[in-house]
A = this chain, B = another copy of it.
């Protein structure tokens, strides 16, 4: 192979010349080399790559934000706590004021941070999808509660359905660069809250063996869900040992008020062994300050209050530091998930989680654009790469999302899988070793060699392990592109979606288990077996 490559002519591709190389001899050989799947440890990208090389905040900034947070928690505190929350929190030292607000002494906040769960694993049903949440390890996944599915072919928004959730789950199940599946849409065809919560979770866990995140409307809806999960796990202990579902919990109505129903859900999930994503979703200029630093302060204060609450209920219960502040377009008040300010907020929150050495989750990839177009591309690319480089452990909303969380798109999942691959390659960064510095290689090529690196041993060795190749991204020359009929990335994504939906019906939950679930829950299960390829 090396000689075939060496024989090719070298034409230099610079900014100054139209000299796209026209090599062919080595191409097929190199393509064949690429066709063999790589072992996980030599893949150019993988879940849990270490981020953190981008730091929007300096050390002094972090300390000032932390001090402001402690001040807010002990002087402003939280309104609207439910009785069980008051009971649990005051037991550990939270102070109930005459104005009804719970205030958090700084010593309690600090000891909670010290003793909180960290370095835990968010499990998949399949252990190969386990995510070790620690340090600055980065994972990307979905999330959201879109009410629309984006129909790319018809160029329209329609209501999202239960089947769409299952379809999104099974698409994500096969996309390497999307590491977890939090429910991204609400099923508008299942309006009853219990039906909705139960079936959303059912569609998710049947659709993918990756870690799943979901929400519950009220406390009472947790019990049947737990029964389903314990059944799938083969018993309560099995689920508690490897919880493959976490609860995305909006326990706070910013600014600084508890959400009563969500708190009930939180308590039931802690009791049932479900990890909690403590999600504070203030919106800058509306439910959070307009100053970026102030948004971070409020979000961190809110999530730390939630952390005290969870640890008051059950010390060491796994909880994710879910600072998810959003941005408003202050001209209209509408949310702007694709904005630069959003990218900064998310990255700053990552640093605060790292400041506390807590497992951090935040949101990126929320395009304002309605369709998978160039705007959605740059908004997703900018926000997701900054999230990854900052070292957020869990990047939620990173794939498929449009219209600032109102529309979810299956084709975008497939395109975004490539985009997230690029982000992960950027997170992985640059290896600087004696070999990588390449002094000997450069000297050999210049002084004794062919004057180029095409057939070099180093090139052949690194092409698979150091370079990320997109699955449907287009790298054709204009000439090739024209000859192939000017292919369009949306067309490729539509075709790939149809292929996946026709072929991929995950069977990680055995039929016998699903039989038991259907026997146990009867008509509560709304997703027909026909929609599951049975």
Contact = CB atoms under 8 A, between A and B. Distances in A.
Interface string A22-41: 01001100110010000000
Nearest to A458: B290
A215 B17 CA distance: 11
Interface in A173-201: 186
Contacts of A119: none
A336 B418 CA distance: 14
A27 to B, nearest CB: 5
A406 B287 contact: no
A14 interface: yes
Interface stretch (A84-92, A430-438, A522-530): A430-438
Contacts of A373: 373-374, 377, 488-490
Interface string A404-436: 111100001001001101111110011111011
Given A20-B334, A406-B18, A436-B291, A76 B430 contact: no
Interface stretch (A109-117, A229-237, A310-318, A477-485): A477-485
A412 B424 CA distance: 26
A281 B23 CA distance: 19
A54 B389 contact: yes
Nearest to A383: B381
Nearest to A481: B370
Contacts of A141: none
A326 to B, nearest CB: 6
Given A330-B459, A341-B425, A426-B340, A441 B403 contact: no
A325 B474 CA distance: 21
Nearest to A67: B437
A527 B419 CA distance: 41
A294 interface: yes
B468 A17 contact: no
Given A381-B377, A445-B255, A293 B341 contact: no
Contact of A452 (B27, B287, B330, B432): B287
Given A333-B27, A377-B376, A425 B340 contact: yes
Given A333-B8, A374-B489, A61 B432 contact: yes
A144 B14 CA distance: 9
A16 interface: yes
A225 interface: no
Contact of A442 (B61, B294, B377, B477): B294
A475 to B, nearest CB: 5
Nearest to A493: B374
A295 to B, nearest CB: 8
A478 B403 contact: yes
Interface string A89-121: 000000000010000000000000000000000
A65 B363 contact: no
Interface in A472-517: 473-478, 481-482, 486, 488-490
A285 interface: yes
Interface stretch (A128-136, A204-212, A246-254, A266-274): A246-254
A79 B283 CA distance: 60
A446 interface: yes
A293 B377 contact: no
A520 interface: no
Contacts of A239: none
A106 to B, nearest CB: 14
A468 B340 contact: yes
A287 B10 contact: yes
B14 A250 contact: yes
B422 A382 contact: yes
A125 interface: no
A123 interface: no
Contacts of A144: 15
Interface string A293-311: 1101110000000000000
A328 B460 CA distance: 12
Contacts of A324: 15
A291 B374 contact: no
A341 B470 CA distance: 12
Given A426-B344, A478-B370, A469 B331 contact: yes
A109 B260 CA distance: 68
Contacts of A27: 331-333
A50 interface: no
A456 to B, nearest CB: 7
Contact of A432 (B64, B75, B285, B290): B64
A443 interface: yes
The 7 closest A-B CB pairs, nearest first, are A377-B377, A294-B438, A378-B381, A381-B381, A340-B425, A330-B463, A293-B436
5 contacts: A31-B331, A297-B438, A297-B439, A377-B377, A380-B381
